[in-house]
């Protein structure tokens, strides 16, 4: 069995590992777990940075390493993806058809991303990754299997699973509508990465705030990674931004502010979509503990600037005990929110205004089994001083296990009702770790 991405999730040892090959294996395992009241966890891609969400001590782990089928129905433009698939695999297998599923921005991320919402470089034009899902097969806590979509009797469960996480059941099949992006040989995108010095960081934050507020072109996408790599006990700046545009260049009226900020290096060129998804690599480094925490920003840049200065202080004070740490910013433009609503909506249901989705990801020293107390206090200090803005939901895939992500969702009351309906004994909450608040 492949190790989880976060080393912290490798430390717990399950009493039993179930490796299903077909849905009925999951049904039987879940029915037994439910009957015997056993603690359990589920691992698909294993990329979560939340300790305990895909691992369990002395319980039962359901590991989807053998359920990795991908099929494509060209006549309907529908792809069927099993839960053991990672996005790099899905992109490679669908590339000959000239389509791509809306998944993650690193190839090693698994399908569990869809349950937390998910953002890809296709998001500004097409919504969250979960908005591409058209149907799912779901195993409920008692072992029953149901098929859910937007128009059948389980439409409430379908909507809850689109961003509501794994509390509602175990998905064994995702049917998604992929986006027509062209093949690897089709250089119909333009972009790449630019590296900025520490002296440009605040100008970069001001520019990204202006971008999310004013850009109306859905063909533009960007990911901002402000980070520090620790060398000799000191943080060394590594501020990297990926810019992409579905076209032949980066239009200056969209990206001009970023291109004018002093930078140390740039690598921009025509590329295919599958090449764009690889600019940060596969994200498959294992053996290091990860810790995520999230926030969000609306309006003027001052709150984000304050959060970045707090992050700089955290990086300096933690430099001796961590490998690296990043402050990631993802623009969520108004047209992305509107597109998601037109497609039927998802569990996040943000307010109709643009915002920045943000997260901190700290990577610890290789083989380190516990987070040092001082670093833990620093992470909690960051979250306490920089809470999410109202109407701008946290990203469940990049938040801390102690954060009530559901409470930041526009559909929070709906989610609580749906959870009560499909898990009336609250078995999932009592016997597995995962998002809090239901």
**C-alpha 186: how far from chain center:** 27
Q: Are 49 and 291 in contact (CB under 8 A)?
A: yes
SS3 (DSSP) at 362: strand
Residues sharing a CB contact under 8 Å with residue 113, sequence separation 6 or more, in sequence order: 45, 47, 87, 103, 104, 129, 397
140 by DSSP, 3-state: which? coil
Confidence band, pLDDT 50/70/90 cuts, at residue 284: confident
Q: Which of 7, 70, 60 is nearest to 30 (CA)?
A: 60
* 185-239 confidence digits (pLDDT tens): 999 999 999 999 999 999 999 999 999 999 999 999 999 999 999 999 999 999 9
DSSP codes of every residue in 122-191: THHHH--GGGGEEEEEEE-TTS-EEEEESSSTTHHHHHHHTTS-GGG-EEEEEEE--EE---TT---EEE
User: What is the C-alpha to C-alpha distance for residues 129 and 339, in angstroms, rounded to an integer?
Assistant: 12
pLDDT at 318: 96
pLDDT of 297 reads 98
- Cα angle 230, 293, 232; round to 5: 5
Residue 265, number of CB atoms within 10 A of its CB: 10
Predicted confidence at residue 5, as pLDDT, reads: 86
Q: What are 328's strand-pairing partners?
A: 225, 359
> How many residues are present in the chain?
438
User: Distance between CA atoms of 307 and 313, rounded to whole angstroms?
Assistant: 10
Residue 117: which residues within 8 A CB-CB, separation 6 or more?
A: 128, 129, 130, 162, 163, 346, 347, 348, 395, 396, 397
- Give pLDDT tens digits for 92-149: 999 999 999 999 999 899 999 999 999 999 999 999 999 999 999 999 999 999 999 9
pLDDT at 286 over 80: no
The Cα–Cα gap between 402 and 232 comes to 32
CATH fold, domain 189-408, is: Vanillyl-alcohol Oxidase; Chain A, domain 3 (3.40.462)
Backbone angles phi, psi at 40, to 5 degrees: -150, 165
Taking the CA atoms of the chain, what radius of gyration do you get in angstroms? 21
Please, which pLDDT band fits residue 46 given cuts at 50, 70 and 90?
confident
Per-residue model confidence as pLDDT tens digits over 232-271? 999 999 999 999 999 999 999 999 999 999 999 999 999 9
Task: Report d(CA 153, CA 139) in Å as an integer.
Answer: 16
Instruction: Express each pLDDT in 324-352 by its tens digit.
Output: 999 999 999 999 999 999 999 999 999 99
SS3 158: helix
**For position 299, what pLDDT does the model report?**
92
Distance CA 245, CA 217 (A): 9
Q: Quote the pTM value.
A: 0.96
Q: What does the DSSP assignment read for 311-322?
A: HHHHHHHHTTTE
**pLDDT score, position 109:** 92
Query: For the packed helices 302-318 and 201-214, what is the interaxial angle rounded to 10 degrees?
Result: 140
Please provide the average confidence, as pLDDT, over all residues in the chain. 96
Question: 3-state SS of the chain: helix, strand, coil percent to 5?
Answer: 30, 25, 40
CATH of 70-182+411-423 among 3.40.50.720, 3.30.43.10, 3.30.465.10, 3.40.50.300: 3.30.465.10
CA distance 396 to 400: 8
* Mean pLDDT across 383-406: 97
């Amino acid at each position: 069995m492949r190790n989880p991405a976060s080393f912290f999730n490798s430390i717990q040892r399950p009493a039993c590992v179930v490796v299903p090959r077909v849905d009925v294996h999951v049904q039987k395992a879940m029915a037994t777990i439910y009957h015997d009241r056993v603690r359990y966890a589920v691992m698909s891609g294993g990329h979560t940075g939340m300790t305990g969400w895909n691992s369990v001590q002395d319980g039962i782990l359901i590991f989807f390493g053998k359920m990795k089928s991908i099929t494509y129905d060209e006549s309907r433009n529908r792809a069927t993806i099993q839960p053991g698939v990672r996005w790099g695999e899905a992109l490679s297998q669908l590339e000959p058809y000239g389509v791509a599923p809306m998944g993650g921005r690193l190839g090693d991320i698994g399908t569990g991303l869809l349950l937390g919402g998910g953002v890809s470089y296709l998001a500004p034009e097409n919504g969250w990754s979960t908005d591409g899902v058209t149907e799912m097969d779901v195993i409920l806590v008692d072992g029953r299997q149901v098929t859910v979509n937007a128009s059948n009797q389980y439409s409430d469960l379908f909507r809850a699973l689109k961003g509501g996480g794994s509390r509602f059941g175990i998905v064994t099949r995702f049917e998604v509508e992929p986006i027509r992006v062209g093949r690897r040989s089709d250089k119909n995108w333009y972009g790449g990465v630019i590296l900025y010095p520490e002296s440009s960081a605040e100008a970069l934050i001001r520019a990204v705030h202006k971008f999310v507020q004013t850009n109306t072109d859905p063909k533009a996408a960007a990911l901002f990674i402000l980070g520090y790599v620790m060398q000799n006990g000191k943080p060394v700046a590594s501020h990297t931004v990926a810019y992409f545009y579905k076209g032949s260049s980066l239009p200056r009226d969209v990206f001009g502010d970023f291109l004018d900020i002093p930078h140390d290096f740039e690598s921009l060129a025509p590329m295919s979509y599958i090449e764009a998804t690889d600019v940060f690599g596969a994200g498959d480094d294992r053996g290091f503990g990860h810790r995520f925490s999230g926030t969000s920003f609306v309006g003027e840049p001052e709150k984000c600037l304050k959060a970045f200065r707090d992050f700089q202080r955290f990086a300096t004070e933690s430099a001796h005990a961590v490998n690296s740490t990043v402050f990631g910013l993802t623009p969520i433009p108004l047209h992305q929110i509107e597109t998601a609503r037109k497609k039927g909506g998802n569990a996040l249901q943000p307010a109709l205004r643009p915002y920045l989705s943000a997260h901190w990801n700290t990577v610890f020293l290789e083989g380190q089994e516990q987070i040092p107390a001082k670093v833990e206090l620093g992470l909690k200090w960051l979250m306490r001083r920089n809470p999410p803005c109202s109407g701008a939901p946290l990203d469940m895939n990049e938040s801390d296990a102690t954060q009530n992500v559901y409470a930041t969702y526009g559909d929070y009351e709906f989610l609580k009702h749906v959870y009560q309906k499909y898990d009336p004994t609250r078995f999932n909450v009592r016997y597995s770790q995962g998002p809090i608040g239901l």
